[in-house]
Structure 1
Amino acid sequence: MSEQSQFRLLGQRRFLPFYLTQFSGAFNDNLFKNALLLLITFQAGGLMGLSVNLVVNLAAFLFILPFFLFSGIAGQLADRYEKARIIRVVKVAEIAIMVAAAVGLWLGWYEWLLLVLFLMGVQSTFFGPVKYAILPRVLHDDELVGGNGLVAMGTFIAILLGTIVAGVIMAGPVSAPVTAVAVMLVAILGYLAARRVPDIGDEAAELEVRLRPLQETWHLMRVAAERRRVLWAVLAISWFWFLGAAYLTQFPNFAKTWLAGDETVVTLLLALFIVGISLGSTLCEHLTRHRVTLKPVPWGALGLTLFGVDLYFAVPDSPAATTWLVMLTDPAYLRVVADLVGIGTSGGLFIVPLYAFIQHETPDHKRARIIAALNVINALFMVFSALAGMVLLGIAGVGIPGFFLILSLVNLGVWLFVMALRRRAAGSVDK
């Protein structure tokens, strides 16, 4: 068993090119999505006779729709063909999509950019199963938790950086052309990294790829349900995405209404959440002692509840006008800062061992399809998260702190759920 740090993987070809490939993809997705949303909100106005709010929600729907349509096919392809080759094909497709995005950005074809956003969702759908299915083929069992921790950290940092860079670019005088050049450049760099991903020779010639989008997506659910413990782990991860989507969606209004903050406070809240996730993700290898084990997961679930409940009580009763610097220096807000970092850290402890467990417990020839099923269920839970926000915040009139409190209390049930999963899984992975 290796006792070295997981960060040594960043110096090895079997991991680093893949890591840079997935990092660039996550960065580019968020750079383009956030730039487009800012364009629609502040420059384009309503499109096709629709309100800005409706177009923004339409954009979110178009990006997530491909996960429901094409995940079944994506999982089959990733199990059938050599995974490094699929990664390179997907990155070539990203370059083509970003060229189309650049044309739309340069010429101001905003309706065209919505189509591009859908194509980006398709590209992400086909990359997702490969992203996690390849790790057990290039990492040893005692590296699996650490490798997943690095991937989780990199993904969330890329999300943060893509969001920040989009905001910086869109504040400039020639925002659309600069965005066009940036997304093409990042796509090309991602492809160059993908060319260095080594082949692992894992083709499964006996697997038939059936081009039936909805039928194959439904079939994924049956594949995932073949192993009950794996399905439970999938549902647990999807709950985290439900919870994470709820927090991230409400951060802008939470910062403005409940913290009296400006735009910098929204960015700070996102940064605190992601710093926490990165910290929790990288701690997992040390806490698990390089083993595939679910021991940190109940602690992560408990932290999500405790820090979430405390956040409700930490919100100031009468906040004064706030900036990011005030948030970090005024004692009245430091508890909010600590709670958000704690929620993120708990989330990292929660999801990283679950991803490693799923990879460890699934056979090579079905792993990508199970990851594809996970992506579908994640997308479904994020839709449910949006609906829960609409019902509780819009119809029931619950405030955002109260909404966070309700989610934290519901999470107690998830804590009991993962405690049971931890006991059931102890015989197979906790050795």
Structure 2
Amino acid sequence: MPDSSSATAASFTSSGPIDSLSHPSFVGFIATQFFGAFNDNLFKQLLLLLAIPTAAVATMSENGSLDSAPDPATNQAVVAPVDSEPETDLTNVPSTNSSTESTTGDTANDTADSDTAKPSGGGDLQGIATVVFGLPFVLFGGLAGYLADRYSKRTIIVTSKVAEIVVMGLGLLAFLATPMIGFAGLWIVLFLMGLQSTFFGPGKYGIMPEMLSGNQLNRGNGLVLMTTFIAIIIGTAVAGPLKDSIIPEGVPQLEAASGLWIGSLVCVGIAVVGTITSLLIIRLPAADPQLKLKAEYLAVPKPMRTLLKTDTPLLIALLASCVFWLIAGLTIQAVNSLGKTQLLVSDTKTSLMVSLISVGIAAGGAAAGVLSKRLTDRVVIQIGMWGVVAFCALMAISLPGGRHLLGFGGSIPVLMLLGASAAFFAIPIQVFLQARPPEALKGRMIAVMNQANFFAIVMSGVLYQVLNTILTNADLPRSTVFGAMAVLFLPVAIFYRPSLERTSVETLPVAPID
């Protein structure tokens, strides 16, 4: 970094926290977070789309009927046999240059009903991808929190961003190598992505109260939350068009993956830009440079175990948060599978469906902040819980023959309302979990909450693979996953009656989105 920047950074340290959100240090921090979230979601969504073994997709009309259905004579849309091994599914998806015949009305429904043309989820590996990405957060979350206190959080952030460049570079090589080594290289890169994010997170969240003065902290958190959602929405939405523009329809999955090295090259460039912006962040001393590493830092620290045993409302809220993230993890996989194997829409439309859930979450977060001022948090949570159950149940309905009730167009508003309902449920609970613990334990509570939530996300991958096997063997439509989600969440809606009395409301670290 230039000497002038170093001198400026030194003056930041000596003069204390910054008091303006337009300060270059905070702007650099926001940009770094944005580019990191964008990269994570772009790369992860590309892999999730690749993990679904379909050779061709058909477009849907607004009323949900097939405008273009697979032609049984060409086998263009026939996926690998259900009972074959996953790797065989991914390597031997039939490919053809034959054009797909246009069908409408009853012809489309007849084709969709036939055993040959019926889309299948056999060999869907999204659950494995979800487990691989989430596992580092569970295994190394405690160590990451220790390092963020032991060393300067700016150092942690910059080092993590440099690591992101390396990981994305490995991703480029893994895409190119897929015809030779299969998906093994991509799984390794996905694990390293999760590991990089694991160590980036505590530095990112922990530096906020150190970098910003008290009167700017709430607004700063709101801006970070808003820009993060924007990055998630854009990164997820871009993945589909990027894959569609690079990979011709009908190309086998492994061959398709090798062509996506261009997408990984984009991620490398974004990681470089994010690393440069991280250099603008204020230089800060370590919070506790003498902190010794203890075994308990790698799991749940003893003070937190004691607190959770004695504070029942806090423990129940943590469990409710885990159920939410279990459902959230399932939702992304369910929407991808629904779009590609039942609605038979393109990767572009499938990614749009996923990204619009985040739009609903962002809008729901803003609405929840407003409603919480007029209603109690308990009422807002009740609305959210029953909304999740109702909209999951609606998404689960399929007509005889496997045709989805809502279709692509009808699913869009329902998915957005599902996201908004999730925000109504999750945001008040997250604020409660951050505010309830004593001041000395707030940071460790956030660390434990993150570990618990990512454990739930990992379990969502395991559960999805189990559901995928059941649905495939029973020849049930993919929308049935949403029905399973509604059943899982129903006991929470019936029995959870949150006690949301906070101990230190004035020190809330998170503000509603402006």
Identify whether the pair has TM-score above 0.5, normalized to the shorter chain.
Answer: yes
Which of residues 163, 175, 179 is equivalent to 2:236? 163
Gaps of 5+ in 2: 1-19, 56-79, 91-122, 248-257, 508-514
Matching residue of 2:113:
none
Which of residues 326, 330, 353 is equivalent to 1:269? 353
Q: Deviations over 1:25-65 (max 9, x none)?
A: 1221232334455667699x999977634876554443222
What is the number of equivalent residue pairs in this alignment? 408
Deviation (angstroms), 1:91: 1.2
Which of residues 491, 505, 512 is equivalent to 1:413? 491
For residues 145 and 400 of structure 1, the distance between their equivalents in structure 2, rounded to whole angstroms, comes to: 42
Cα distance change of structure 1 residues 301 and 54 upon mapping to structure 2, 3 Å threshold: closer
Contact 2:435 / 2:504 at 8 angstroms: preserved in 1? no
Contact 2:384 / 2:424 at 8 angstroms: preserved in 1? yes
Q: Is 1:254 equivalent to 2:338 in the alignment?
A: yes
For residues 50 and 259 of structure 2, the distance between their equivalents in structure 1, rounded to whole angstroms, comes to: 9
Matching residue of 1:351:
426
Contact 2:54 / 2:341 at 8 angstroms: preserved in 1? no
Q: Is 1:185 equivalent to 2:258 in the alignment?
A: no
Cα distance change of structure 1 residues 225 and 279 upon mapping to structure 2, 3 Å threshold: farther
Which of residues 60, 71, 75 is equivalent to 2:141? 71
For residues 496 and 204 of structure 2, the distance between their equivalents in structure 1, rounded to whole angstroms, comes to: 24
For residues 94 and 131 of structure 1, the distance between their equivalents in structure 2, rounded to whole angstroms, comes to: 14
Cα distance change of structure 1 residues 166 and 399 upon mapping to structure 2, 3 Å threshold: closer
Which of residues 21, 42, 65 is equivalent to 1:31? 42
Q: Is 1:429 equivalent to 2:505 in the alignment?
A: yes
Which aligned pairs between 1:18-417 and structure 2 lie closer than 5 A?
Answer: 18-36=29-47, 52=90, 53=123, 58-105=128-175, 111-137=184-210, 150-170=223-243, 171-172=245-246, 175-199=259-283, 201=285, 203-210=287-294, 216-220=297-301, 223=304, 226-227=307-308, 228=311, 229-256=313-340, 259=343, 261-288=345-372, 296-312=380-396, 327-328=408-409, 333=410, 336-362=411-437, 366-392=441-467, 394-395=469-470, 397=474, 400-415=478-493
Cα distance change of structure 1 residues 178 and 385 upon mapping to structure 2, 3 Å threshold: closer
Cα distance change of structure 1 residues 243 and 153 upon mapping to structure 2, 3 Å threshold: farther
**TM-score of the two chains, using structure 2 as the length reference:** 0.65
Residue type at the aligned position of 1:376: Q
Deviation (angstroms), 1:185: 1.0
For residues 365 and 318 of structure 2, the distance between their equivalents in structure 1, rounded to whole angstroms, comes to: 18
Contact 2:404 / 2:479 at 8 angstroms: preserved in 1? no
**TM-score of the two chains, using structure 1 as the length reference:** 0.76
Contact 1:101 / 1:116 at 8 angstroms: preserved in 2? yes
Deviation (angstroms), 1:126: 1.0
Cα distance change of structure 1 residues 362 and 96 upon mapping to structure 2, 3 Å threshold: farther
Q: CA RMSD for the aligned pairs? A: 4.3
Which one has the largest radius of gyration?
Answer: 2
Gaps of 5+ in 1: 1-8
Residue type at the aligned position of 2:307: E
Residue type at the aligned position of 2:200: F
Q: Deviations over 1:153-203 (max 9, x none)?
A: 443443343233333333327944422421211111111222223345561
For 1:65, what is the secondary structure of its paired residue?
helix
Deviation (angstroms), 1:20: 2.3
For 1:130, what is the secondary structure of its paired residue?
helix
Deviates more, 1:297-306 or 1:392-401: 392-401
Contact 1:133 / 1:367 at 8 angstroms: preserved in 2? no
Deviates more, 1:181-190 or 1:292-301: 292-301
Cα distance change of structure 1 residues 144 and 51 upon mapping to structure 2, 3 Å threshold: farther
Cα distance change of structure 1 residues 156 and 130 upon mapping to structure 2, 3 Å threshold: same
